[in-house]
Structure 1
């Protein structure tokens, strides 16, 4: 996948390095040459430019980029301007950093696809979330064990929980399934919230919009994802 990251602060640089290490192509931009130089050997491409300057930003391969992440956090105004600019330039998927609740409402009004809060969320967690096609979210319990949310792969739609044989084949526990309900926020924009469907039962039939909530060792989770055709890292 191809990413553009605007802002090489603590979160942006960590995200850029994590995605690069996973084999993705990352273009990281920052107006500070010191930051650009610091990460040029660790991120695929680093460029010194102003993310709020339409002329220079328009020269980036936005149309060929899968996800644009605006990670600017020091300057709320620059964050909003850069986010609006990438939205105007028709980024396929646009994610931006929220600094406070009011700022989050402004980002929602712009129409971003997702909002992150780096003070609460780790760059590694977002790198994993952005890297896998069916990956929704994760909660690390220890260095080796996690609870993960996985959007149901097409190959599993219509199968029962028992047919997956997750415990027998992969030593994993399917705790529950969930789906996301859509609603309108205060700007009349479509948002979504999770709805837990209860403990998974052997006879439960998996549906198209289900999200699987799975517990187990990270290596076993990756093996399961590979078995159903999902690229795992």
Structure 2
């Protein structure tokens, strides 16, 4: 995949490196030459430019870019301006960083596809969410092993866990499933929450809207998710 990351601070730089290391093409942009120079040997491409300037931004290979991530954190104004600019240029998928609730509200109003919160989420988790099909969330247990939440592949809906033989076929374990459950909320309104179902049994029948909680090596999980 091809990513464009705007803002090469701690989070943006870390994410750019991880995505590059996973075999993706990454263009990193920042207005600071020092930050650009620090990453020029670590990611695919680096450019020193002002991401709020429409003329220079329009010259980027946006049609060939799968995901644009605005990771600017220190300047909310620049973040919003850059986000609005990329939105107006109709990029395929736009993700932007929110600094506080008000900033998040503005980003939602602009119509970004997803909002990231670096203070709560690591670059490692976002790298998995961006690179692995169907991943909702992940937790890295070590350099090689992770817990990953992923959507049930359509082809497995209606089948029992024992019949899928995950352990032998994919070398990963289904620890549990999470189901979307409707509850009665405040003021009589209904809410949909994710409810953990407990340890998954061999007889459990998977449903299409279920979320799988998988354990295994990063390599095996990636192989499974990118091939269903």
TM-score normalised by L of structure 2: 0.85
Is the CA contact 1:8–1:29 (under 8 Å) kept in the aligned structure 2?
Answer: yes
Partner of 2:221: 221
Alignment: residue pair count: 218
Alpha-carbon separation, structure 1, partners of 2:167 and 2:77: 50
| Structure 2 unaligned blocks of 5 or more | 183-190
Which digits, 9 at most, give the CA deviation of each residue in 1:44-80, with x for residues without a partner?
A: 0111111111111111121221111000011010001
How is 1:7-18 mapped onto 2 (pairs within 5 angstroms)?
7-18=7-18
**Residue aligned with 2:118, SS:** coil
Aligned partner of residue 16 in structure 1, secondary structure: helix
Quick check: 2:135–2:151 contact (8 Å CA) kept in 1? yes
Which residue does the alignment assign to 1:174?
Answer: 175
Change (3 A) 1:45 1:220: closer
Shift of the 52–102 alpha-carbon distance from structure 1 to 2, 3 Å rule, reads: same
Structure 1 residues 179, 60: closer, same or farther in 2, change over 3 A?
Answer: farther
1:180-199 superposed matches below 5 A: 195-196=194-195, 198-199=197-198
CA deviations over 1:166-214 (Å, ceiling 9, x no partner): 3465352331133499xxxxxxxxxx97522623444443233332112
Q: Matched residue of 1:87: which SS?
A: helix
Q: Secondary structure at the match of 2:107?
A: helix
Displacement of 1:157 in angstroms is 3.0
CA distances 1:82-137 after superposition (whole Å, capped 9, x unpaired): 11111111111111111111111111111111111112211121111101112221
Which segment is superposed worse, 10-19 or 166-175?
A: 166-175
* Contact 1:175 1:215 survives alignment (8 Å): no
For the 8 Å contact 2:132–2:225, the answer to whether it is kept is no
Matched residue of 1:73: which SS?
A: coil
Other-structure match for 2:100: 100
Return the alpha-carbon distance in structure 1 between the equivalents of residues 166 and 175 of structure 2.
Answer: 7
TM-score by length of 1: 0.83
Aligned to 1:113: 113
Partner of 1:187: none
How many Å separate the matches in 1 of 2:71 and 2:153? 30
The match for 1:152 is 152
- Measure the CA separation in 1 of the matches of 2:110 and 2:197: 35
Alignment partners' CA distance in 2, 1:145 and 1:64: 32
